Amino acid sequence: MAAFMTLCFTTIGDLMMWVIPALALFCGYFLYGDANIYRHEQIGEAIFQDIHVLFTLSFLIVVYVYY
Identify the pLDDT of residue 22. 84
pLDDT tens digits for 27-62? 888 777 666 777 778 888 888 898 888 888 888 888
Residue 12 pLDDT more than 70?
no
Mean pLDDT of 1-13: 72
The alpha carbon of residue 35 and the mean position of all alpha carbons in its chain are separated, in whole angstroms, by 17
Length, in residues, of the chain: 67
Least confident range from 2-6, 19-23, 49-53, 56-60: namely 2-6
